[in-house]
Amino acid sequence: MRAVLLARLHALPRPVRLGIGAATLVAAGVLGAASAGPPRFTLLNTAIVIDYPWARGISALGCALTFALFAATLVRTALRTSLLVIALLPAAVGWHLLRYRVEAAQAGLTSRGAMRSTTLPWSAVIKARVGSESVEVVGDGVTIGVDTADFSPDQRAALARTITRRVREAGSGSVLTVPD
């Protein structure tokens, strides 16, 4: 099936293939730009949730798909294979954006990434380091880091206050506020 589709695509006149290739590159660029941006920061009554809107992850996956379509327009197998391997990068980014979630709730700090999920109860926190560019919470052999560079100062302060309050309430560790 794949070979038939590639044969039909490569049977098209060269200007048509170039037009399809250019259109897919433009689409990949637009979708790649749509997948960029800071995470969503949601303040709830009992928690703070940090995640990405699902549209960003879908845009990154669409970028990978259009990049793969561009690779299919190429006649040379080695170049096509190389570009298909490179198209895996936006696919991995899309998967990460769809899965990413950090939640500071009553039970503890939970971090979910592309491959695993980690929960650190507040009572197990040994130390927390709150800086202007990142937050790092350490306890029981587990370290959860949150990059806060794209957060507004108010969002950063809300996260720092929540972590500080939860660690102090649990009486388990210390909070160090350090400018980066």
pTM to 2 decimal places? 0.81
Q: Give the C-alpha distances (Å, rounded to integers) separating 72 from 19, 31, 51, 77.
A: 13, 18, 33, 9
Q: Could you tell me if 78 and 141 lie in one domain?
A: no
Domain count of the fold of the chain: 2
Q: What percentage of the chain has pLDDT greater than the value 90?
A: 36
DSSP state of 168: H
For 11-42, the pLDDT digits (tens) are: 778 888 888 889 998 999 999 999 998 899 99
Q: Could you tell me if 63 and 83 lie in one domain?
A: yes
Q: Could you tell me if 29 and 81 lie in one domain?
A: yes
Alpha carbons 70 and 25: distance in angstroms, whole number: 7
Alpha carbons 76 and 69: distance in angstroms, whole number: 14
CATH number at residue 119: 2.30.29.30
For 35-55, the pLDDT digits (tens) are: 998 899 999 988 999 999 999
Alpha carbons 61 and 79: distance in angstroms, whole number: 21
The packing angle between helices 54-72 and 14-34, to 10°, is 160
Q: Domain limits at 126?
A: 102-180
